[in-house]
Amino acid sequence: MRFSVYRYNPDVDAKPYMQEYDIALDPTDKMLLDALIRLKSHDDTLAFRRSCREGVCGSDAMNINGRNGLACITTVAELGDHVTLRPIPGLPIIRDLIVDMTQFFKAYHAVKPYVINNDPAPETERLQSPEDRLELDGLYECILCACCSTSCPSFWWNPDKFLGPAALLQSYRFIADSRDQATNERLDDLEDPYKLFRCHSIMNCVDVCPKGLNPTRAIGKIKDIMIKRMV
């Protein structure tokens, strides 16, 4: 199987280049991550992140044949004979397929991704009705792999100001949480031409999300609540 892999080691290379590999895979190498580990056994200078190898940790997000995805849950069979691997676009490269996620997590932290509740803490947990809990489905499952934000042109153009689909999905996750008391402050913070309104509903985020989530719908719901508050 033929692989073209983006290579860049800033200590050694003047500029990035694509390296070609032809390797024979074992029958047990079912997933792209298996193939990458096989590749690394031939060339141990190749650098990439991986951890849980089952689509939960979000470490091995990369651009696979032009489309962001997780190597661990992408089957080799679906990729064809020639696979092109690049880092997820729009973030600074640390080395090879490893990117600097600082900007991505800054946006995540900016939306205060935790329940804000000023009532005295109860003796047990803060309860939700089953209906209120249902509101969080499709939101809490995000693994912060950054596939969505780094496939979003608005995030490419304004990564320091537009929060991006992942952070906005998380923002709505806490706006939608019946235990949270900071909805007004959250909406005030998002009422901004850059933070929220750079989203032009391009929907690349929905297209690539490896967990099948829909950030565009969450962003739409934030706008719905803002309109409800305004009119």
Q: Residue numbers of the site for another protein (CB under 8 A)?
A: 153-154, 157-158, 160-161, 188-189, 191-198, 200, 223, 226-227, 230
Both structure tokens of 170: 């998380």
Nearer to another protein, 9 or 158 (CB): 158
Both structure tokens of 67: 């489309």
Give the nearest distance from C-beta 192 to another protein in angstroms: 6
Nearer to another protein, 132 or 192 (CB): 192
Count of helix runs (H) and strand runs (E) in the chain: 8, 7
Q: Residue 202 class from Cβ within 10 Å (0-12 exposed, 13-18 middle, 19+ buried)?
A: middle
DSSP 3-state helix, strand, coil percentages of the chain (rounded to 5)? 35, 15, 50
Please state, in angstroms and rounded to a whole number, the distance separating the CA atoms of residues 116 and 128. Answer: 15
User: Which residues on adjacent β-strands are paired with residue 63?
Assistant: 68, 86
Please state, in angstroms and rounded to a whole number, the distance separating the CA atoms of residues 44 and 28. Answer: 20
Nearer to another protein, 14 or 227 (CB): 227
Give the nearest distance from C-beta 43 to another protein in angstroms: 38
**Residue in the structure block whose two tokens are 């100001």:** 161
Nearer to another protein, 23 or 110 (CB): 110
Give the nearest distance from C-beta 197 to another protein in angstroms: 4
Rounded (10°) CA dihedral 113, 117, 123, 128: -70
Rounded (10°) CA dihedral 210, 213, 218, 220: 90
Give the nearest distance from C-beta 230 to another protein in angstroms: 6
Nearer to another protein, 137 or 188 (CB): 188
Nearer to another protein, 6 or 197 (CB): 197
AA identity, residue 197? F
Both structure tokens of 203: 């929907």
AA identity, residue 205? C
Give the nearest distance from C-beta 75 to another protein in angstroms: 36
Give the nearest distance from C-beta 76 to another protein in angstroms: 37
